[in-house]
Amino acid sequence: MSDLDVMNLFIIAGGTLAIPILAFLASFLLWPSALIKVYYWYWRRTLGLQVRYADCGGYRFCYSYRGKPGLRPSILMLHGFSAHKDMWLTVVKYLPKHLHIVCVDMPGHEGTTRTNTEDYSIQGQVTRIHQFVETIRLNRKQFHLVGTSMGGNVAGVYAACYPSEICSMTLICPDGIRHPCETKFDNHLQDLEHSNYTLNIPLIPTTPEEMEDMFRLCSHVRFKIPQQILQGLVDVRQPHNTFYQEVFMEIVGENSRYALQDHLHLITAPLQVIWGKQDQVVDVSGATVIAEMLPGCRVDLLENCGHSVVMERPCRTAKLILEFIILQQNARSGTKKSS
């Protein structure tokens, strides 16, 4: 082969490689929101999660799952306000692949049907999630329920309303508790109430700067996020901001704000509470409130961790959840043998 042929091969190879590289750079600079969607798709695929839809009476739930029901209980994961099922990817990464895991988009969020405010209150979300559980027949066996923030509020009320379906549960920095100590977000909430909700809601950012402020509020660990990615996150959320405002007004309303605390006395399933000690959204003193009302619950407080436990301490969170599930399953097996 002549030197010219070799040179031509290098040029062709270089050109072939340049196309995906240039495409990536263009996506990063011009369409960061598209890059974010590809990122979630890639991680779902890498972790073996499949996306499915469950239809029930004209209402559609979008969810991802991995594994099949087996010896260990299935795990249903409920995300927080304005998030989606993919927020659990960081935790799923550290859970055994044989576990049956289901991550659902909460009512109105991402791929799940958007209806009206009745479905966005905590009780409304509980009703819809129960509809989802029945549609995919997850409650053929008792399952482990996990919820964070708003999803923790929903999970707690769910366990109170449908105790026979839950074998154990994990609440991560759950909303819905009258915590004794105020947080930075509580101060924002008071300002919002005084302004009759005319001020911007810190959890609904509209600019890259506000997005960065939200990360600082929710996370104790400081992540360096490029401006393009911040813009992409704003672009992805922007079309849904009116919906987020509707949900926000419902969950801070009189019937939903302290729904979890109002239902704690009805929870019979073994309970694990995980909380970041530096949570600036829902104060960690809420863990003490729960422990006082349910003395048998297990409390795990994480040092140097804020409200975004799933993002800040994914490996630790997965390990704690798995340990608790195994502990409770062994306790049940021991009880059966002794009887």
Residue-level pLDDT at 4: 41
Which of 64, 74, 82, 149 is an active site residue? Answer: 149
**DSSP H or E run through 160:** helix 150-161
3 is catalytic: no
Give the DSSP letter of residue 300.
E
- In this prediction, residue 337 carries a pLDDT of 61
* Distances from the Cα of 253 to the Cα of 142, 176, 187, 248, angstroms: 31, 11, 16, 8
279 is catalytic: yes
Asked if residue 123 has pLDDT above 60, the reply is: yes
Beta bridge partners of 60: 55
pLDDT at 27: 46
pLDDT at residue 135 above 90? yes
**Out of 1-15, 160-174, 323-337, least confident range:** 1-15
Positive or negative, the Cα torsion across 34, 35, 36, 42?
A: positive
Q: Which of 262, 279, 283, 300 is catalytic?
A: 279
Q: Rounded mean pLDDT of 190-214?
A: 92
Q: Could you give the CA distance from residue 321 to residue 96 in angstroms, rounded to a whole number?
A: 12
pLDDT in tens, 47-93: 999 999 999 989 999 999 999 999 999 999 999 999 999 999 999 99
5 or 91, which is more confident?
Answer: 91
Mean pLDDT, the chain, rounded, equals: 90
Give the pLDDT confidence score for residue 199 in this predicted structure: 83
β 101-104/75-78 pair status: parallel
* Region of residue 304 (phi > 0: left; psi between -120 and 50: alpha; otherwise: beta): left
Query: Is residue 338 predicted with pLDDT exceeding 70?
Result: no
pLDDT digits (tens, 9 = 90+) for 9-20: 333 344 444 444
The yes-or-no verdict on residue 310 having pLDDT over 70 is yes
Residue 127 identity: T
CB atoms within 10 A of CB 277: 13
Burial, 253: exposed, middle or buried (Cβ in 10 Å; 0-12, 13-18, 19+)?
middle
50/41 Cα distance (integer angstroms): 10
Read off the pTM: 0.90
- Tell me how crowded residue 222 is: count the other CB atoms within 10 A of its CB: 8
Q: Known catalytic residue: 307?
A: yes
What's the full length of the chain, in residues?
339
Q: Residue 38: pLDDT band by 50, 70, 90 thresholds?
A: confident
| Cα Dmax for the chain | 84
Share of the chain above pLDDT 90, in %: 78
pLDDT for 226: 87
Nearest to 120 by CA among 132, 134, 108: 108
Can you tell me the mean pLDDT for 18-31? 46
- How far from the centroid of its chain's Cα atoms is residue 94's Cα? 15
pLDDT at residue 152 is higher than 60: yes
Q: What is the pLDDT of residue 160?
A: 98
Residue 332: band (very low, low, confident or very high) from pLDDT cuts 50, 70, 90: confident
Pair type for strands 271-276 and 101-104:
unpaired
For tokens 């600036």, the residue is 280
Nearest Cα to Cα of residue 94 among 313, 325, 304 = 313
Min mean pLDDT across 134-143, 147-156, 231-240 is at: 231-240
